Amino acid sequence: MGEEETKEIKPMPVDQLHEIDRMALELAKSKRHLALAQAEKALAQNDTADISYKYVVLQLYMKYGLTEADAIDENGKILRGAANQQAKK
């Protein structure tokens, strides 16, 4: 039994991608663009929600005659002067 030679297979030079490879590349690009668009949409939705929250807080402060020194806790209790106390700590 003789030694078996293993030949290294070298790819043939080509000037253009095969159609299936080009389609895979385009699909990957499309997925990347879609992910970016979804991230931008989520960021915009977060900004909208933040503005909406601040608007409601402003309306409550105006309705109840609160000042920047006052605060509202998680249970809806008005804490007069609480913001000043937190700033001092």
> How many domains, in total, are found in the chain?
1
- Look at residue 79 and tell me whether its pLDDT is greater than 90: yes
Task: Judge whether residue 5 has pLDDT over 70.
Answer: no
Q: Which residues, listed in sequence order, are joined to residue 78 by a DSSP beta bridge?
A: 72
Please tell me the distance from the alpha carbon of residue 35 to that of residue 24, in angstroms, as a whole number.
17
pLDDT of residue 13: 80
Cα–Cα distance, 64 to 41 (Å, whole number): 35
- Residue at 37 is within a domain: yes
The pLDDT value recorded for residue 10 is 78
On whether residue 7 sits in a domain, the answer given is no
6 falls within a domain: no
Flag whether the pTM goes above 0.85. Answer: no
Query: Would you say residue 4 lies in a domain?
Result: no
Establish if 3 belongs to a structural domain: no
Range of the structural domain that residue 40 is part of: 19-88
**pLDDT for res 62:** 97
10 in a structural domain = no
35 domain-assigned? yes
Question: Minimum mean pLDDT among 7-11, 34-38, 53-57: which range?
Answer: 7-11
* Mean pLDDT, rounded, of the chain: 89
